[in-house]
Amino acid sequence: MLNIILGGAPGSGKGTISELIMNQYGLQHLSTGDVLRAEIKSGSVLGQEIDAIISKGNLVPDSKMIDLIENYLNNLAPDCKGVIFDGFPRTVEQAKALTELLTAHNMDAVMIDLYAEESVIINRLINRGKTSGRADDNLETIKKRLDVYQTQTKPVCEYFLNLRKYFMVNSNINPTCTFSQIEALLTMMNK
């Protein structure tokens, strides 16, 4: 199995790159942001709570996110070739829980971190906001999300670096360029 934790700040290209990896390697794509947005769309009480958190650019509590991942892993098809974790883990607490859950399922994962400069990211998100309809793609919330990323999510990189499971690729240019670095990395790892 090939399991990839796709890291990087909001706007670093995780969604786009996930699709390219998914098509090339036949992996499943789990975007926690997409799952949360689907819950909001359902109009449930939980969805309303999540909406209030996401639209301010804050993180959904760890316990809710870890339950979501546990449930996902418990229901994984036996013939699954692997999973791309897009948007999870976003805290060290979530990273520790994921490591435990993967071990319990006899699975392993590497983190591939997409690095893009802040000015590039802000431009991408502002442009995406013109068509995405996402409540969090506006300048004020983007700045808050980048702040949350630096303080709460960046330490996740160090966590996987210490486990020797961390790789960084340059995501400043375009998706093709980012993806070719990932292909080279996976070839080097014999995946």
Applying the rule CB under 6 A, the residues between 48 and 67 that interact with ligand AMP are 53-54, 58-60, 65
User: What residues numbered 8-27 form the site for ligand AMP, per CB under 6 A?
Assistant: 10
Q: Which of 3, 12, 32, 171 binds ligand AMP (CB under 6 A)?
A: 32
Amino acid residing at 154: K
Q: For ligand AMP, which is the closer residue by CB, 34 or 183?
A: 34
Q: 99-108 long-range contacts, Cβ below 8 Å, gap at least 24?
A: 99/163, 101/66, 101/69, 101/70, 101/73, 102/3, 102/73, 105/73, 105/76, 107/1, 107/3, 107/73, 108/1, 108/3
Given candidates 9, 36, 40, 111, which one binds ligand AMP under the rule CB under 6 A? Answer: 36
Binding of ligand AMP by 153 (CB under 6 A): no
Q: How far is the CB of 89 from ligand AMP (least distance, A)?
A: 6
| Rounded Cα distance, 107 and 80, in Å | 11
Is residue 33 within the footprint of ligand AMP (CB under 6 A)?
A: yes
